[in-house]
């Protein structure tokens, strides 16, 4: 596959395990994942990650809700390392588009990862705002689109065309729900996909013999019933 796999998470031990195994070409985090992982000091966690992972892109997200405060946070985060991408949500919590902030940051040379995008209109607005000379990741949450019963592939295909107008913009398929999404994203030419460690492990199943896989599944059910001591 030509698609780049970015590991998504906020547990340092998991990130380092993936990194040392060569299982990813980059990393992404967000405040929700950090909270779930029990992170209490944002900067301390980021510095610990960056002390170990210096040669792959890593995205850290701002958490302010107004443009002025977001800008201050973004510039501080960008100073943490050359491999850092600053994650900016496509809107704030009031629904205000962050295009002016994206323009300010991107045109000043700050690498961005624009997140929580769910429509082609948002993709166009973001791509129009960013500089052609600064790397940027456009994160479209294809998994959340699929959660609504919509096929995300037409959206992602159109988003890819829009991104190609800026030579340093890369389209990222965010929130995959299953390993198949990795192959789907690769098939349409998507640049990056974020993948949780459990999905990364499942990549080893590629082209596995289905009869063998069926037998292993039956054996798993049988063994678990024995271990549980079930009786009827």
**27: nearest Cα among 194, 200, 201, 199:** 194
**23: nearest Cα among 209, 207, 204, 186:** 204
What average pLDDT score do residues 138-161 get? 98
Distance (Å, whole) CA 202 – CA 29:
21
DSSP state of 119: S
How high is the pLDDT of residue 7?
97
Domain contains 174: yes
Domain contains 51: yes
Residue 5, CB half-sphere, CA atoms under 13 Å: how many? 20
> What is the C-alpha radius of gyration for the chain, rounded to an integer number of angstroms?
19
For residue 4, count other CB atoms closer than 10 A to its CB: 17
How high is the pLDDT of residue 120?
98
- Phi first, then psi, for residue 183 (nearest 5°) are -70, -35
DSSP 120-189: HHHHHHHHHHS-TTS-EEEEE-HHHHHHTT--HHHHHHHHHHHHTTSTTEEEEE-S--STHHHHHHHHTT
Domain contains 212: no
Domain contains 88: yes
In the structure, what pLDDT confidence band is assigned to residue 91 with cuts at 50, 70 and 90? very high
Domain contains 142: yes
How high is the pLDDT of residue 197?
86
Taken in order 130, 68, 27, 84, the sign of the CA dihedral is: positive
Look up residue 213 and give its two tokens: 């896989």
CA distances from 41 to 34, 37, 69 (A): 9, 11, 18
Residue 182 has pLDDT above 90, yes or no: yes
Which residue matches tokens 């610990």? 48
Q: Which domain holds residue 132?
A: 4-205
What average pLDDT score do residues 158-177 get? 98
What mean pLDDT value characterizes the chain?
A: 97
Residue 2 has pLDDT above 90, yes or no: yes
Distance (Å, whole) CA 60 – CA 45:
10
How high is the pLDDT of residue 207?
96
Q: H or E element: which one contains 87?
A: strand 84-89
How high is the pLDDT of residue 68?
97
Distance (Å, whole) CA 102 – CA 115:
11
- Phi first, then psi, for residue 172 (nearest 5°) are -115, 125
What average pLDDT score do residues 149-170 get? 98
190-211 pLDDT tens trace: 999 999 988 998 999 999 999 9
Domain contains 226: no
Domain contains 149: yes
Domain contains 47: yes
Query: Is-contact 117 93, C-beta < 8 A?
Result: no
Distance (Å, whole) CA 68 – CA 104:
11
CATH number of the domain that residue 144 is part of: 3.20.20.70
Number of independent structural domains in the chain: 1
């Amino acid at each position: 596959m030509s698609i780049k796999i970015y590991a998504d998470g906020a547990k340092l031990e998991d990130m380092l395990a993936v990194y040392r195994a060569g299982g990813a070409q980059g990393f992404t985090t967000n405040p929700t994942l950090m909270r779930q992982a029990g992170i209490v000091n944002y900067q301390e966690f980021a510095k610990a990650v960056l002390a170990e992972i210096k040669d792959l892109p890593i995205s850290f997200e701002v958490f302010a809700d107004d443009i002025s405060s977001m800008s201050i946070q973004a510039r501080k985060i960008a100073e943490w390392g050359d491999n850092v991408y600053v994650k900016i949500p496509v809107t704030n919590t009031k629904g205000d588009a962050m295009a002016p902030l994206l323009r300010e940051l991107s045109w000043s040379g700050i690498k961005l990862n624009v997140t929580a995008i769910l429509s082609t209109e948002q993709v166009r607005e973001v791509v129009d705002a960013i500089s052609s000379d600064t790397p940027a990741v456009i994160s479209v949450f294809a998994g959340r689109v699929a959660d609504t019963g919509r096929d995300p592939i037409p959206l992602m295909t159109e988003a890819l065309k829009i991104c190609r107008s800026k030579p340093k913009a890369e389209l990222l398929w965010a929130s995959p729900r299953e390993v198949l999404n990795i192959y789907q994203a690769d098939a349409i030419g998507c640049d990056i996909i974020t993948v949780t460690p459990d999905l990364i492990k499942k990549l080893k199943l590629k082209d596995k013999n289905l009869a063998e896989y069926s037998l292993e599944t039956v054996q798993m059910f049988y063994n678990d019933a024995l271990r549980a001591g079930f009786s009827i």
